Amino acid sequence: MSRIGKKPVPLPSGVSASLSGQTIEVKGPKGARSFTATDDVTLAVADDTVTVTPRGASKRARQQWGMSRTMVANLVEGVTGGFRKELEITGVGYRAQMQGNTLKLALGYSHDVEFPVPAGVTVTCPKQTEIVVEGADQQQVGQVAANIRGWRPPEPYKGKGIRYKDEYIFRKEGKKK
């Protein structure tokens, strides 16, 4: 039995869900998102809740049960509050700024890195050393943050680079004479 799958997903006020076949579409204040479940689970919308139940007792049905419930919960969370990733830049001369729909990063290369922000995601720079990525799609927000971090991941000796706000960098000791 899936402990996660057994819980129904509550729909807060201002959020509506419509079901067509195996596709559920959730609409809310931050937009509309949809998810297509596999044939191993059954989706049902009733009384401001979405329930997911497995079809059969196969291992695949049980796996899809919890995963599908989590995907529906992420849709609801995305259209109500959205998702957010915060990045910090550490290093002398390293900075970021927004220019229109492009993020300009000075990361110690001979040129500035220009990162075009995809649709559905908003990137802001409250300070020169902070980047905030927000959006309704958890996967897309995480991927954009990972792509930005990929330009200069933190290194273990001085900690220079782009890191997530809550990320711990294992520091190494330098060479001894």
CA-atom Rg of the chain in angstroms: 21
Per-residue DSSP letter, 94: -
Residue 142 lies in a domain: yes
Please check whether residues 56 and 25 belong to one and the same domain.
yes
Beta strands 130-135 and 121-124, pairing class: antiparallel
What is the CATH number for 149?
3.90.930.12
Please check whether residues 141 and 107 belong to one and the same domain.
yes
Please check whether residues 96 and 74 belong to one and the same domain.
no
Q: What is the C-alpha to C-alpha distance for residues 170 and 155, in angstroms, rounded to an integer?
A: 9
Give pTM, 2 decimals.
Answer: 0.86
Q: End of a domain among 53, 80, 107?
A: 80
Q: Which residue range(s) make up the domain with 123? A: 83-164
Residue 58 lies in a domain: yes
Q: End of a domain among 50, 80, 110?
A: 80
Beta strands 113-116 and 95-99, pairing class: unpaired
Which amino acid is located at 147 in the chain?
N
Asked if residue 86 lies in contact with residue 26, where contact means CB atoms within 8 angstroms, the answer is no
Q: How many C-beta atoms surround the C-beta of residue 167 within 10 A?
A: 12
Q: How many C-beta atoms surround the C-beta of residue 61 within 10 A?
A: 19
Helix, strand, or coil (residue 39) = coil
Q: What is the C-alpha to C-alpha distance for residues 40 and 54, in angstroms, rounded to an integer?
A: 6
Please check whether residues 97 and 133 belong to one and the same domain.
yes
Q: End of a domain among 80, 109, 134?
A: 80
Residue 158 lies in a domain: yes
Tens-level pLDDT at each residue, the chain (177 residues): 668 888 999 999 989 999 999 999 999 998 899 999 999 999 999 888 999 999 988 999 988 999 999 999 999 999 999 999 999 999 999 999 999 999 999 999 999 999 999 999 999 999 999 999 999 999 999 999 999 999 999 999 998 999 999 999 999 998 888
Specify the residue for token string 């711990």.
Answer: 168
- Number of domains comprising the chain: 2
Please check whether residues 76 and 87 belong to one and the same domain.
no
Please check whether residues 107 and 145 belong to one and the same domain.
yes
Sign of the dihedral defined by the CA atoms of residues 71, 75, 77, 81, in that order: positive
